[in-house]
Amino acid sequence: MSRQFHPSAIGPETWEGYIFSDQEIRIKESTDLYGAVLWPSAMVLCHFLETNQDKYNLAHKNVIELGAGTGLSPLFPVCAKVTSTDLPDVLGNLQYNVTRNTKGRCKYIPLVMELIWGQNVAERFPRATHCFDYILAADVVYAHPYLNELMETFDYLCQDGTQILWAMRFRLDPENSFVGRFQQRFHLEELYNLPSLSIKLYRAWRKDSRAKDQTEAV
C-alpha cells in the first residue's frame, strides 16, 4: 500500500491517494469532523488486509465496519459484501468516498448505513437476515463516553463464526480497561504490534464460537 498527498490546485478539495492491488483509492477528509479524519489505525488495518490476503481473504464475505470514518478500510476488500457504518454527521463524506472509489470496480455495491452504537442495532441489523463473516474496526476505542455501547454492539453483531479484526491505538487508561472487559466475552489474539505508534491489531471471536477453527482450516 502506497500513499500520496494531493493538495488542491484549483478549488477546495484536497485528497489522499493510496494504491491497493494496483488500483488507486482517493480519500477526502473533513477536518471539521473528528470522525471524518483518516487515523493511523485505519492504515494499519488496511496494510494488514493487503499483506495477509492468503489467510484473511475477504472476497465474497459479508463484512461490516464500525466507525468507518473516511471509508478507507472497507474499500480494501473490493470483492467483499461491505457495510460501512458511522454516525449521521459523518455519513456524507463516507458515502462520497465509498461511491467515488467503488463505482464500476466492485462486484457488490457497498452499503453506507447510520449506526449509533447501542441504539436500535437489532432493528437495523436483525440476525435473521444479517450475519457477518468479519467485523472491521479501527480506532473506535478512546476516551469517549460510549464504550459500554460499543461493547454491546460488538457483542450483538459478532455471531458464531464471526471474526473481528480490530486495530487500536493505546492512549489512556480507558483503552486498557476496555481490552480487559472485552476479553471477558471474546477470545483475543494479537496479530500485529507497532510500538512506535502505540497501535496493536487484534483478531477476536466469541468464546463460544468456532471462528478460530474455521480460520485454521483455511
pLDDT, tens digit (0-9, with 9 covering 90-100), for 33-92: 555 567 788 889 988 998 898 999 898 999 999 999 887 765 665 678 999 999 998 898
12 assigned to some structural domain? no
The answer to the question of residue 218 being in a domain is no
State residue 217's pLDDT score: 45
Domain of residue 47, CATH code = 3.40.50.150
- Please classify residue 100 by burial: count the beta carbons closer than 10 Å to its beta carbon, then call 0-12 exposed, 13-18 middle and 19+ buried: middle
Within-domain flag for 112: yes
In a domain, 8, yes or no: no
Q: What is the pTM of this model?
A: 0.85
Rounded to whole angstroms, the Cα distance separating 150 from 141 reads 8
Sign for the pseudo-dihedral over CA of 85, 203, 129, 122: negative
pLDDT at residue 100, rounded to an integer: 84
**Lowest mean pLDDT across 20-24, 67-71, 119-123, 125-129:** 20-24
Structural domain contains residue 119: yes
Contact partners, residue 113, CB within 8 Å, separation at least 6:
83, 84, 85, 124
| Residue 215 forms part of a structural domain | no
CB atoms within 10 A of CB 43: 20
For residue 123, the enclosing domain spans 34-206
In a domain, 16, yes or no: no
Degrees (nearest 5) of the Cα angle 103, 109, 110? Answer: 100
Instruction: Write the DSSP symbol of residue 155.
Output: H
In a domain, 217, yes or no: no
Number of H helices, E strands in the chain: 7, 10
The secondary structure element, H or E, covering residue 168 is strand 163-169
Where does the pLDDT of residue 136 fall: very low under 50, low under 70, confident under 90, or very high at 90 and above? very high
Report the domain count for the chain: 1
